[in-house]
Amino acid sequence: MPEPGEPDAVPAPRWLDDEELAAWLPLVRVLTVLPQQLDRQLREQAGIKHVYYMIMVLLSEAPDRTLPLSALAKGVGMIPSRLTHALGSLESRGWTERLPSPTDRRVQLARLTDAGMHALEAAAPGHVAEVRRTVVDVLTRRDLQELRRIAGRIAAALEEVED
């Protein structure tokens, strides 16, 4: 314990051991390359960014294809200003619209329009084929179960950090 008046000692870093590093490095590669590949496929085949596709997916799954902006931002992992920019781009195509909440004037909602739903339905086959090619079809059913379990644990830990 440091003496009074001395600066607090900084704990030594817990370096990754060989096994931890062997797991971490391929994960970093997946986290870097996979989003780029999914984004490239969607830009080339559907003319949209992957994050825009994810916004549309979340809205398509919501009741009345509508979500509060705060829930949508959290769902896609975006800060509100980036979500506002993304929604502006989607709105300019007629794929989303923003509405005031009928129950709370402080809340703004995003809604996927019929045109947006049609665009999502057109983009989905190519995107699903790319997800299959890059992830699903290279794994066994058991691998997929393990991936779901592992990704769920990491996602839960990230949720704790966000809150």
Whichever domain contains 88, its CATH number is 1.10.10.10
What is the mean pLDDT of each successive set of 10 residues along the chain, which is 163 residues long?
A: 67 94 96 96 95 97 96 92 95 97 92 98 97 97 97 90 66
What is the span of the domain harbouring residue 118? 45-162
Q: Is residue 118 part of a domain?
A: yes
Ordered DSSP codes for 24-89:
HHHHHHHHHHHHHHHHHHHHHHHSS-HHHHHHHHHHHHSGGGEEEHHHHHHHHT--HHHHHHHHHH
Q: Is residue 139 part of a domain?
A: yes
pTM to 2 decimal places: 0.85
Domain count, the chain: 1
Q: Is residue 27 part of a domain?
A: no
Q: Is residue 102 part of a domain?
A: yes
pLDDT score for 163: 59
pLDDT score for 159: 83
